[in-house]
Structure 1
Amino acid sequence: MSHTTFPSDIPVPTDDGACDHLKGMKMPPLSLPATNDSLVKISSLQGLVVIFCYPRTGAPNETIPDSWNSIPGARGCTPQACSFRDLSRQFLTAGVNKIFGLSTQDTSYQQEVKTRLNLPFELLSDEKLDFVEALKLPTIDWEGKSLIKRITLAIADGKIVKIWYPVFPPDQSAQHVLDWLAEEQTNEQKFVGNRRMSVT
């Protein structure tokens, strides 16, 4: 499945400090619709949860305009989702309880993506921008819609403990999180109640 390629000449995003305020923040008590038709309240989830926020995935056979490619960090949502799909077992071994993708696209759109890409995790819709506004997340304005800039969050028992921003290249996003998890295990740093350390 060749969903993991994207142009090599796309502009690299820079850290503009727009996510510096997130470290240590507690998740707001919001419930977001998921692709399995449930409502997910992130603040109530136990253990370690990884959420990768992405702007938008393209529709099947959609032609990606140059104007989209020219936005630093915009291109690469499908390769990012596939990176988490392909390494999902390693996340479970590393003690991650849940993985979610999150965008401002609606649930029906996300359900098609989940099925087409065979994603083993749910996608969350922030179509009403409740999550964006509560966390003051940076956005991209695109064709009259607000899209979330690419951010990955590690959340332990409802509290943000690690932020990846900007995320680049997007197809390496999942590996970057796994590398951090391995480093945390090496340093024997444990988040209370969040992790079942793998025993070999």
Structure 2
Amino acid sequence: MNQKHLLKVDWSKIPAPADDGAARNLPGQTIPPLDLIATDGSSVRLSELKGRTVVFAYPRTGEPGKIGLVDDWDLIPGARGCTPQACAFRDLFAELKSAGARHVFGLSTQDHDYQSEMAARLHLPFAVLSDENLSLTHALDLPTMEVAGVTLIGRLTLIVDDGRISHVFYPVFPPDRNAGDVLSWLRANPVPR
């Protein structure tokens, strides 16, 4: 089964990921001082950002009209939904900022050139960070999946306050609801003043 449309997904036909405990180590961790290239061309060091930062990580966004990594992508729990997730964060961006997110970033292992094209195509108002070399993924021991010999980040969202992870959404399903869940959490957990 392969649902061809990137944004219109029947989530009842997509297997939900199970909580395998792969993110339980993350709350309380300090983000390591690593530079990640952003789609706006800047270098971002998450460890140095002041205030509250939202980082939603995902395996990889699809390219319209191009073949995916594997034919059964939709059957891999947690794989499908990266584009709907990114678009949901785009659509709620202003509200996320109003609810206390000083910074919002997407994060994947896809390369900078692809991410830049995708961010422009989807009109994302935030930068997407490339962890193509898996430096942040390995340093934080983020959940990963192996697909067709490629290591991808498992879908999760980090709430980072002044360089320290304060909350983790994992597993995330369905992905297009994650931004709304994050917004609700931000509203219920305002940044301490």
What range describes the TM-score normalised by the shorter chain of this pair?
Answer: over 0.9
Residues of 2 paired with 1:102 and 1:41: CA distance?
A: 13
Question: What's the TM-score once normalised by structure 1's chain length?
Answer: 0.90
Residues of 1 paired with 2:142 and 2:97: CA distance?
A: 27
Task: Specify the code of the residue in structure 1 equivalent to 2:22.
Answer: A
C-alpha RMSD of the superposition: 1.3
Aligned equivalent of 2:123, options 95, 112, 118 = 118
Paired position in structure 2 for 1:43: 47
Q: Does 1:171 align with 2:176?
A: yes
Residues of 2 paired with 1:131 and 1:42: CA distance?
A: 10
- In structure 2, runs of 5+ residues without a counterpart are none
Aligned equivalent of 1:57, options 44, 61, 73 = 61
Paired position in structure 2 for 1:13: 17
Q: Percent identity?
A: 50
Deviations 1:64-105 (A, max 9, x none): 554211110100000000000000010111111110000000
Aligned equivalent of 2:93, options 88, 92, 99 = 88
- In structure 1, runs of 5+ residues without a counterpart are 193-200
Task: Specify the code of the residue in structure 1 equivalent to 2:161.
Answer: A
> Residues 61-72 of structure 1 correspond to what in structure 2 (within 5 A)?
61-64=65-68, 65-72=70-77
Matched residue SS, 2:21? coil
Task: Specify the code of the residue in structure 2 equivalent to 1:119.
Answer: L
Residues of 2 paired with 1:27 and 1:124: CA distance?
A: 14
Question: What's the TM-score once normalised by structure 2's chain length?
Answer: 0.93
8 Å CA contact 1:4, 1:80 repeated in 2: no
8 Å CA contact 2:14, 2:75 repeated in 1: yes
Report how many residues are paired: 187
Residues of 2 paired with 1:141 and 1:180: CA distance?
A: 30
8 Å CA contact 1:102, 1:126 repeated in 2: yes
